[in-house]
Amino acid sequence: MLRGACQPHRAGGRRVIRSLFPRGLPPRSLLGQVMLALAIGLIAAQAISAVLLYRAAEQRRETALVNAIALQLVMSEHHETMEMLDPRGHARLREARRSDSIARAQIDPQVRMRIEETARNPLRQGEERMAHFEHDLQEVLESQGVPTHEIMVTERLASADAYITSRPRLQARIDDGRWRERKVIVAAIQGEAGGSWQVVRVPHPRAPARIFTTIALQTLVTFTVLFLLLFLLLRRITRPLAQLTRRVDHFARQPGEVIAMEPSGPQDIHLLIEAHNAMAARIGAMLNEKDVMLGAIGHDLKTPLAALRVRIESVEDADQRARMAQGIEDITATLDDILSLARVGRPSDPLEPTELSALVAGVVEEFEDMGEDVVVRSSHRTALPLRATWVRRALRNLIGNALRYGERARVDVVQEGGFAVVRIEDDGQGIPDALIESMMEPFQRGEASRNRATGGAGLGLTLARAIAQQHGGRLELANRRDAAGAVAGLTATLALPTSPIS
């Protein structure tokens, strides 16, 4: 029962709370992580949307260019060709005219270039043909009944096209910089083998810059609205969770203070708080019952033990009398350790500013007065909030273990980050690595007997660790090895936070 009663304290409230708020990704809070996930998801969705919209716009521009080129070629045919078009052909022609007007608006409404008729292939050496344009243009022309033997489409700089540079009106656009880097689509159609080429030139339209601006504004508006809504919702969830976090952490360190929390937030959080209140009340009642029971045990056992201690004085055999007295002392010491371990989770004395190095020096002096080989090698003066009586008890246990199993003890007091650290080294045989953690459990010993001369009841390390956790610190054991890798002793590290635990 005693071991179970101490488990909530040893587990530590902070580990329970940290499981609710993962620390694997920044930011660490639930609110921050949800907001970050929202931002990443929204930006990714808008980026995909931007790519799709841009590709759709490019496809519309290419379609408009193809229709504009086809319209000029169809209109250049004889009038008879126009009369021979079927109703679907006329519909496609009207669509081509609409596309031509769209293309002109995107290109330059003031620019119209005549169709050039030439006997030479307009494709120059080194120029690449635009196969997808040629395929689309052929489909449009075939649908209009325009005969095509070969279609060629390429792209070149306006300043490199002989037809454009030979026209003063178009050359002026190059000279004034408007078409200095402008490209034109050059499309040519040969109606029959060996026939002449009909060449159409259309300035390549500029990419619409407003697409990205529109998407950016849309993303900003959407993100702002969703951010505000989710922020308000998550604040309603995380605020009571933060209060519950502080309450659970406080209860883990001071289980004697059972304070019910007012339920708030959504229904799920409301039920969670109610469940916590009920659980805290039950744990508080169990701890109260435990304290009453332990007080009764301590009183009921110590009184007859004291009576036995008096009665054994009448035993004539001195050797038997000494053994009986030692047995009574062992029982009394074990009972004191058990009661101390039970009380450490519910301390009655407050935290007080204490100079740790002076406290360590006082404990070391006690062992030196008994002739023990204990030395303080380094000492860093650090004042921190402690329950001095309990910390002194922990230090006695750790130094006592070092002397019992390692013959001598070397103590260092250092500052590491936000912790004041006391290291106690011995020259013993250490502890097997697989057993180090279990050695801090109640009634676990490296030596199997219960003889006080060889180790006692096995509660010293358990009590020292409970005292460290009571202060928000930790106790660690580690084997120390020499240059050859052999175990040269054990190092016990007691780390206590320098700032008050909240």
**Per-residue pLDDT of the chain in tens (502 residues, 90 and over written 9):** 334 444 444 444 444 334 434 454 567 777 777 888 888 888 888 788 878 877 887 788 788 788 878 777 777 654 444 444 445 545 554 554 454 444 444 445 445 677 888 888 888 888 888 888 888 888 888 787 777 888 888 888 888 888 888 888 878 877 777 777 788 888 888 888 888 888 888 887 766 656 677 777 887 888 888 888 888 888 888 888 888 888 888 787 677 677 888 888 888 888 888 998 999 888 888 877 877 777 777 777 777 878 887 888 888 788 888 888 888 887 877 777 777 766 776 666 778 899 999 999 999 999 999 989 999 998 888 889 998 888 998 999 999 989 988 888 999 999 988 899 999 999 888 888 888 888 877 666 555 444 444 555 567 888 888 888 888 899 999 998 888 888 889 999 999 998 866 5
Q: Is 210 exposed, middle or buried (0-12, 13-18, 19+ CB in 10 A)?
A: exposed
- According to DSSP, the residues that pair with 202 across neighbouring strands are 185
Collect all residues with Cβ–Cβ distance below 8 Å to 300 and sequence separation of at least 6. none
Residue 126's SS3 state is coil
For helices 318-343 and 267-311, angle between their N-to-C axes, nearest 10 degrees: 160
What is the C-alpha separation between 156 and 165, in angstroms, rounded? 13
DSSP 127: P
Q: Which residue has the tokens 């304070």?
A: 259
Question: Cα(136)–Cα(59) distance, rounded to whole angstroms?
Answer: 11
Q: Are 341 and 462 in contact (CB under 8 A)?
A: yes
Give the pLDDT confidence score for residue 112 in this predicted structure: 63
Cα distance between residue 1 and residue 209, in whole Å: 75
Residue of 351, 379, 348, 361 whose CA lies nearest to 499: 351
DSSP string of 389-427, one letter each residue: HHHHHHHHHHHHHHHHHHS-EEEEEEEETTEEEEEEE--
Task: State the amino acid at position 240 in one-letter form.
Answer: P
Tokens read off for 446 = 């490296």
Q: Is the dihedral of CA 97, 98, 100, 105 positive or negative?
A: positive
Copy the structure tokens of residue 263: 């339920």
- Gap between the Cα atoms of 125 and 342, Å rounded: 95
Q: Which residues contact 477 (CB under 8 A, 6 or more apart)?
A: 431, 436, 439, 440, 461, 490, 491, 492, 493
Q: What pLDDT is attached to residue 94?
A: 53
Produce one character per residue of 333-364: b if its CB has 16 or more CB atoms within 10 Å, e if not.
Answer: ebbebbbebbbbbbbeeeeeebebbebbeebb
Residue 376's pLDDT is: 92
- Using the structure block, give the residue that is written with the tokens 């408007």: 178
Neighbouring-strand partners of residue 492: 424, 477
Q: What is the pLDDT of residue 220?
A: 84
pLDDT at 173 (0 to 100): 79
